[in-house]
Chains A and B, each alone.
Chain A
Amino acid sequence: MIPEEEVVRRQRDRARIMAWLLGAFVVLMFLITMAKVGLNK
């Protein structure tokens, strides 16, 4: 039997990591776009 708290803890951990990764991805895409624009100038 899997303890409920363990399931919730892991879900919370993963959600937090996904949120950070998504945020980092948005920032990275912005920086890539800026670099590409700079290359084409």
Chain B
Amino acid sequence: MAPFYPAGGLGPVQRRQRVSPEREHPYIARRVMTVSAATTPALPADWRDLFALTKPRVMSLVVFTALCGMLAAPVLPPLVIGFTAILCIALAAGAAGALNQWYEADLDARMRRTAGRPLPSGRLDRQTALHFGVGLGAFSVVLMDLATNHLAAALLAASILFYVLVYTVWLKPRTPQNIVIGGAAGAFPPLIGWVAATGEVSALPLLLFAIIFLWTPPHFWALSLFVRSDYAAANIPMLPVTAGLAATRRQIFGYSLVMAAAAVAPWPLGLTGPFYGIAAAVLSAGFVALSLPVLANRATEPAAMQPEKRLFGFSILYLFVLFAALVADRMLSA
């Protein structure tokens, strides 16, 4: 395997050490940990690389859904408390992203899509990323506890631990269901936003959790279909690698149907008004309609996977507009 850090690179001297025996299962990604010996002075990390470590684009969706969860709550916290809660959720998402990149640096180096990240490109050393991630995560949980309530802080801590330990360390390298179960990590933000405002869990935030949980598999599998070779090269058992393209496309369609039902459910259950209900129905119909050409597509080359690319792009827009419709519905009925 090629060295993770370039020889004579900018980081401290690295001592490479296997921390677990190499596994025989073909779909279990081999993990090689890099430990800093720090015998030579390192170039201090640039703040831009630390910022990139937090996956800012993912963070934007997290912040938006958390904000919508908070604004959909029946009571709103004072502005500064609400701002702090959203800030904490953003910091926690950044911490989880940093710890994910710390753990997966060797896998990221093997994938074109991620090889330019600060760790695999050698612009940042692993120990800095670990300290940054742990520090940011702990800070976000403590601040959330001080500003809002214990339940919101506990959920925030659980979401970081779930993403890092359950998804990144345990599920992702071991099972093609990684995205299904790991999707729970990304589903926490609206729930935490709601709990930060109200101090309790109720039916609507649980449904918002369910919507993102069910949205995650078709969203990620659409992406993984056209970057399948990357995942195969890194030995990550994404569904298209282990079960094939046709099975993945069937799963995308199936999850799209269930997700559409969950997205519309708050309206007939009386938890939202007709504005949200109609918006959810139209958006979900669009999602299912875009998943049909994916189901019918037989292409094996990424260049011919336009339906998958369209569905992936629409899935991001879908979540933004759906949650915006929820907030608009609340404001209309207030």
Contacts and interface: CB of A to CB of B under 8 A. Distances in A.
Interface in A3-18: 6-7, 10-11, 13-14, 17
Given A14-B47, A32-B146, 10 more contacts: A2-B43, A7-B41, A10-B43, A10-B44, A11-B44, A13-B46, A17-B47, A29-B146, A32-B84, A35-B78
B225 to A, nearest CB: 40
Interface of B: 10, 41, 43-47, 78-81, 84, 146-147
B80 A31 contact: yes
Nearest to A13: B47
B135 to A, nearest CB: 12
A32 B43 contact: no
A35 B47 contact: no
Contacts of A32: 80-81, 84, 146-147
A14 B78 contact: no
B44 A14 contact: yes
B153 to A, nearest CB: 14
Contacts of A31: 80
A28 B46 contact: no
A17 B46 CA distance: 11
Nearest to A39: B78
Nearest to A32: B147
Contacts, number: 35
Question: What are the 4 tightest A-B residue pairs by CB atom distance, in nearest-first order?
Answer: A35-B78, A10-B44, A31-B80, A35-B80
Interface of A: 2, 6-7, 10-11, 13-14, 17, 28-29, 31-32, 34-36, 38-39
16 contacts: A2-B10, A2-B41, A2-B43, A7-B41, A7-B43, A10-B44, A10-B45, A14-B47, A17-B47, A28-B84, A29-B146, A32-B81, A32-B146, A32-B147, A35-B80, A38-B78
A10 B41 CA distance: 14
Contact of B43 (A6, A13, A28, A38): A6
A10 B47 CA distance: 8
A10 B147 contact: no
A12 to B, nearest CB: 10
Nearest to A2: B43
B46 A10 contact: yes
Contacts of B10: 2
